[in-house]
Structure 1
């Protein structure tokens, strides 16, 4: 047995350990609001808030995070701005005339009292009236003096009479033209339609006047007309009143409503790109772009902020606190959701669902906190409810309907690692796949991908097959191309295959065939490669490892091994079962950086090079040269036979 090129991963590298400093309990950390997680966004939003000309901000969105509360938290830290409202007063001396005025929202009650005073006495205080108005209106007083107790309800209306002293956010959802832009309603009375100021139905833009409105970009994807209308309002600063019943005309022609609103569009990058495709002006009219990352990077930010955020979620939802072990278990789980040990998930919907279930179980068991056992109980319940596909997979292995060999050695056969994703199923799971190769050193250099020819492979998989071809060209095309002909198959695979994580396994299977060197079946392989044999990181590494352990246990295998890209060590966040298997010597995990290391582990032979005696590449090269010599001998024999035949035919011709 030759010396190994790589060492096994020790158990302490199989799951992340988070340094919390001297603190360990949740109550020892300060509460952190959502906006504090993104200090860089606070600064840009502050600039957007202070710049009166800035009207549109685009922010990346992701599922599970409450962006409304995040922006609300940001606003609380900004210099206060007084909220405004729009008021309409109809000129009762002229048919169809209604004028718009702006008042301070916190003065709405005083303004209405002044209207009542004017109607009752005809007198008012100039000073009080001026304190209600945002700017002077010379024609307002005459309009007010014409009001009386009989017409005031029809001729006077404040569109947003909430008394909030400062600007706020309006969350715009389920939009249509009426909910966003309002409506001039019509009243059917005395066999005819009439309208008055009382029939002005404010939209969300009127309610957000002087403040902010947050809109999901998805609202515009299927109704682009709404976006173009909104863009026109932002440019003009006014909004004309429209009636939902356009076939009926009335005499009322109210002034366009002045609209001073800042719009925040939120959506994922796909939604933003779809909106940009429909309107290429979006990048030029947007005042700012803000990016909310869906993951918290603990290598760049203090982990205490994330724990403070968890404390906020628990406090707001009135849940039981986390114990020290419960906090560490939650951090580890949150990191696994991100598939990276330096990141923690900000999907608060997912976090709150888990913590709410834990709270219920802990309360039932009369616990005063949520510990790691409680979290594990919830995870086990969720797994049992979702593992129907895994049970079917296990049955296929036990009943030998699915062939996966984990004992002995085989030429041209290797266990790759895959992640299965079922449509409509919320979770993926790992499962080994048997990859086989056949071929010979007497061809035109073609490596045939059966999955691709059967139209069961995606574009990334097709690319990986071309990279394998490039690897063989780079390794053996010195001085002549390697004359191979080979087939590569993912056995018992009946759905579409995509991704490049099987490139390393497929290449090793082909090398095994060409060198007539068997591969150890108790080892499994995952990893992408480049044309020079460098092993590259892949996704789903934790599910792949756990899937291989599951299959090996079904096959009663105790000396298992897995080859993974060394770059994936930072992604390892494995179950306690895997960690125990590594500690007990049942499973060895080998991090590799080059295919040469995989060759040594899988085939017990040094990869070497084509000139290095008794190396794998040298064996293949020698076999290729012997094959070329046989071809030359055969060609020489054929030529001699042709020459002899020609001579015989020539003599027969001369005798005739």
Structure 2
């Protein structure tokens, strides 16, 4: 019985306006999360709340589906229930300056601690110079120096008196001390006078001078010891004065941070260092003591600063951080350098935080593709999660490319939940190629690319209202929402589904808003949405237009009327960026006596893919199993896509190819006003294919350009009927009887439509009625078998004769 075409209601599933209880989207509330993503949201909530190592999350969805917004909302909702984590800062390590110390404080205390240390140094910068500039200090320091000088002078004077008694003049010179003999009047003797003295007197003078020189040398050796002793006394005095100036201010801070032992340890080290380097607090212009006149660091107080790495003073919950550029430095942090006298120098104040620092105690959201594209970022991410601490070091040092001295900041403990966003393909590739991946990302949140259309129209309308408000677009009318829902089903490729790709929806609403403005509409109307759809197609359909022109001019041969043996119109889809369209292709088949092989010319020329070749092999299996179960399969057939100059892939043309072969076998012509798509299995059942809407519309456009005859149409698999969301002009043509869409479930149904001939069923003996399509195929194959046997016998007789 011949199949009837599908009714117009089966070609397009309109939106039920009765389900949209509003006039415009102004009346609708915002929708916080995506429609129909319960599975993914449950997985994310589970991954966020479980506090075990390795239970990080990989959110799987193509770009533009809104997964970032959803993940961020869920993470922020969970973060709002958690306490604010610690502030973190780096301070100078006075015992090991190359290894700065990490200190954590209560949220918001880091800024206060930084300010307290700055105020402490400012206060001491005034208090210490004032203490050393006081009268009491000057008096005590002067007494110590005077006592030291007096002690040296007393020793020298005693030696001078003894020299005078021995008639020796004791004088100081530029190079030391000198001794000269003197007369009774204590006047120095000239060399002539000294030579006139007798030998005994000269010898006595020599002995006395040598004795005095030895005693002077002994006294001079005591002076450094006495000066060191004086210096120690001065240092003790300085320490005493410094402690009086410092201790009061430091003690106040110690009392304030009494509960934080790391801060107390640091303050004790600061106190000790300030007292030891008290000269740094004395301005250059005030040279109080000689030992304070040593060269000073241009910024001696820098080591007392606090490098606040993480400030939570403005936070009210755990952090949620989205890192847009997850490279090595942005994840771990970095140590900056500055040029100084031709070299690069650094210190603990130049340590900069990374995303791990900012998100520590909360959630870090990263795009998987971006982190995989950054050198060493992926390995750094895994190593940091495994160690549970943030260790800042330069990439060159981590790779052992340099061995120069640098800072080694103390690692900071890490408690974080990482959420990766990426395409499902990335997840599966990482799972396959990285053996460590499942150790760190145990939770997969799989976002659906579409949701059920049934009972979700109002939720989808709320989604449209939310997007319109966030993007500051005009509200949508009820009819506009219905049109968007219908187009969403079309974009999803399934009349019973709605697309969840938010970027595509937002683009459609943005363009509709533009046309609403151009058309002076206060609300986005249905016509504005349709105009946006049409204009986008117009921008992208140059290739389609030129291809259809070549078909119309006969350059590419596609027949839309008449009947031809072994020839059929197949349908394929071309995807060019965001735009896809159907392309009719002529498929031809030839048959002859042979050894049961079906030659796929596309495969033989390496233009056919593996799936297409599989489909062709299935055809030969079907023909042999149906028509040659008890006889040799004596058929050779050739298949080709005419005027195909590119790669052919997929099995959606296998039904058309089978019909072309059977037509050639039975020598029954096939209708050229029908095109066909669908795959077939070994049992002759027709299977669904993709791109059904574009394929139908492609053949319709070709027929329209050549002129609709009222008999033209497309044959599709019956299982594809629920996916139909055809253009309105196609639906109207079907409604007026100008174009027809047939749905088939078996090869026999397709043959009957194409040939207008009864297909025929086998009787109990496996015989088909002779006048039917199958009967003629069976008869032709039997003839091939007889001819093959006859040729085989003649060849044997010829061999015997020889």
Q: Please confirm whether the aligned pair reaches a TM-score higher than 0.5, indicating the same fold.
A: yes
For residues 667 and 791 of structure 2, what CA distance do their matches in structure 1 show?
23
For residues 95 and 333 of structure 1, what CA distance do their matches in structure 2 show?
66
The one of 238, 245, 250 aligned to 1:122: 250
For residues 111 and 601 of structure 2, what CA distance do their matches in structure 1 show?
77
Indicate the residue corresponding to 1:21 in structure 2. 19
The one of 458, 461, 466 aligned to 1:304: 458
Question: Which structure carries more relative contact order (alpha carbon 8 Å, separation 6+)?
Answer: 2
Indicate the residue corresponding to 1:68 in structure 2. 68
Alignment of 1:160-559 (within 5 A): 160-161=310-311, 163-190=314-341, 193-223=344-374, 225-243=376-394, 246=397, 247=402, 249-250=404-405, 252-299=407-454, 302-422=456-576, 425-440=577-592, 442-558=593-709, 559=711
Secondary structure at the counterpart of residue 475 of structure 2: coil
For residues 794 and 49 of structure 2, what CA distance do their matches in structure 1 show?
91
Indicate the residue corresponding to 2:309 in structure 1. 159
What is the CA deviation profile of residues 457-512 of structure 1, one whole-angstrom value per residue up to 9, with x for unaligned ones? 11111111011111112211221133111111111111111111111111001111
When structure 1 is superposed on structure 2, of 561-570 and 111-120 the one drifting more is: 111-120
* Conservation of the 8 A alpha-carbon contact between 1:529 and 1:536: yes
What is the CA deviation profile of residues 308-340 of structure 1, one whole-angstrom value per residue up to 9, with x for unaligned ones? 222211111110011111101111111111101
The offset of 1:43, in angstroms, is: 3.6
When structure 1 is superposed on structure 2, of 281-290 and 145-154 the one drifting more is: 145-154
Secondary structure at the counterpart of residue 272 of structure 1: helix
For residues 707 and 37 of structure 2, what CA distance do their matches in structure 1 show?
50
Indicate the residue corresponding to 2:750 in structure 1. 598
The offset of 1:390, in angstroms, is: 1.9
Indicate the residue corresponding to 2:227 in structure 1. none
Indicate the residue corresponding to 1:619 in structure 2. 776
For residues 240 and 642 of structure 1, what CA distance do their matches in structure 2 show?
88
* Conservation of the 8 A alpha-carbon contact between 2:117 and 2:306: no
For residues 421 and 42 of structure 1, what CA distance do their matches in structure 2 show?
32
For residues 313 and 391 of structure 1, what CA distance do their matches in structure 2 show?
33
What is the CA deviation profile of residues 210-256 of structure 1, one whole-angstrom value per residue up to 9, with x for unaligned ones? 22111222234344632222212112221222136754744644211
**Structure 1 residues 531 and 117, CA gap change in structure 2 (3 angstroms):** same
Q: Which has the larger radius of gyration?
A: 2
For residues 276 and 634 of structure 1, what CA distance do their matches in structure 2 show?
59
When structure 1 is superposed on structure 2, of 204-213 and 509-518 the one drifting more is: 204-213
Between Structure 1 and Structure 2, how many residues are aligned? 636
Secondary structure at the counterpart of residue 213 of structure 1: strand
**Structure 1 residues 43 and 522, CA gap change in structure 2 (3 angstroms):** closer
For residues 130 and 311 of structure 1, what CA distance do their matches in structure 2 show?
55
The offset of 1:24, in angstroms, is: 4.4
The one of 73, 77, 100 aligned to 2:102: 100
* Conservation of the 8 A alpha-carbon contact between 1:115 and 1:144: no
For residues 481 and 488 of structure 1, what CA distance do their matches in structure 2 show?
21
Indicate the residue corresponding to 1:649 in structure 2. none
Secondary structure at the counterpart of residue 742 of structure 2: strand
Secondary structure at the counterpart of residue 77 of structure 1: helix
**Once superposed, what is the RMSD of the aligned Cα atoms?**
2.8
The one of 699, 705, 729 aligned to 1:577: 729
For residues 217 and 641 of structure 1, what CA distance do their matches in structure 2 show?
73
Secondary structure at the counterpart of residue 310 of structure 2: coil
Secondary structure at the counterpart of residue 355 of structure 1: helix
For residues 285 and 583 of structure 1, what CA distance do their matches in structure 2 show?
57
Secondary structure at the counterpart of residue 689 of structure 2: coil
For residues 193 and 403 of structure 1, what CA distance do their matches in structure 2 show?
73
Indicate the residue corresponding to 1:11 in structure 2. 8
Indicate the residue corresponding to 1:653 in structure 2. none
For residues 69 and 598 of structure 2, what CA distance do their matches in structure 1 show?
56
* Conservation of the 8 A alpha-carbon contact between 2:35 and 2:460: no
When structure 1 is superposed on structure 2, of 396-405 and 530-539 the one drifting more is: 396-405
Secondary structure at the counterpart of residue 273 of structure 1: helix
The offset of 1:95, in angstroms, is: 3.3
For residues 533 and 303 of structure 2, what CA distance do their matches in structure 1 show?
60
Are 1:139 and 2:280 matched, yes or no? no
For residues 118 and 213 of structure 1, what CA distance do their matches in structure 2 show?
36
What is the CA deviation profile of residues 596-643 of structure 1, one whole-angstrom value per residue up to 9, with x for unaligned ones? 100111112222235131322222212332444455556667777888
Indicate the residue corresponding to 2:91 in structure 1. 89
What is the CA deviation profile of residues 117-161 of structure 1, one whole-angstrom value per residue up to 9, with x for unaligned ones? 655433547786478x6x976524425656989625763111122
* Conservation of the 8 A alpha-carbon contact between 2:757 and 2:772: yes
The offset of 1:595, in angstroms, is: 0.7
* Conservation of the 8 A alpha-carbon contact between 1:216 and 1:267: yes
The offset of 1:391, in angstroms, is: 2.1
For residues 276 and 627 of structure 1, what CA distance do their matches in structure 2 show?
54
For residues 403 and 791 of structure 2, what CA distance do their matches in structure 1 show?
95
Indicate the residue corresponding to 1:654 in structure 2. none
What is the CA deviation profile of residues 153-189 of structure 1, one whole-angstrom value per residue up to 9, with x for unaligned ones? 7631111225222123222233322222111223343
* Conservation of the 8 A alpha-carbon contact between 2:619 and 2:682: yes
For residues 275 and 322 of structure 1, what CA distance do their matches in structure 2 show?
42
* Conservation of the 8 A alpha-carbon contact between 1:92 and 1:146: no
The offset of 1:111, in angstroms, is: 3.6
The offset of 1:584, in angstroms, is: 0.7
Indicate the residue corresponding to 2:29 in structure 1. 30
Secondary structure at the counterpart of residue 23 of structure 1: coil
Indicate the residue corresponding to 2:717 in structure 1. 565
- In structure 1, list runs of 5 or more residues that go unmatched: 647-656
* Conservation of the 8 A alpha-carbon contact between 1:91 and 1:155: no
The offset of 1:547, in angstroms, is: 0.7
When structure 1 is superposed on structure 2, of 316-325 and 271-280 the one drifting more is: 271-280
The offset of 1:81, in angstroms, is: 2.9
What is the CA deviation profile of residues 400-459 of structure 1, one whole-angstrom value per residue up to 9, with x for unaligned ones? 11111111111111111111234xx4312112111111112x211111111111111111
Secondary structure at the counterpart of residue 475 of structure 1: helix
* Conservation of the 8 A alpha-carbon contact between 1:97 and 1:254: yes
* Conservation of the 8 A alpha-carbon contact between 2:34 and 2:70: yes
Secondary structure at the counterpart of residue 266 of structure 1: strand
* Conservation of the 8 A alpha-carbon contact between 1:154 and 1:198: no
* Conservation of the 8 A alpha-carbon contact between 2:103 and 2:262: no
Secondary structure at the counterpart of residue 579 of structure 2: coil
For residues 520 and 249 of structure 1, what CA distance do their matches in structure 2 show?
82
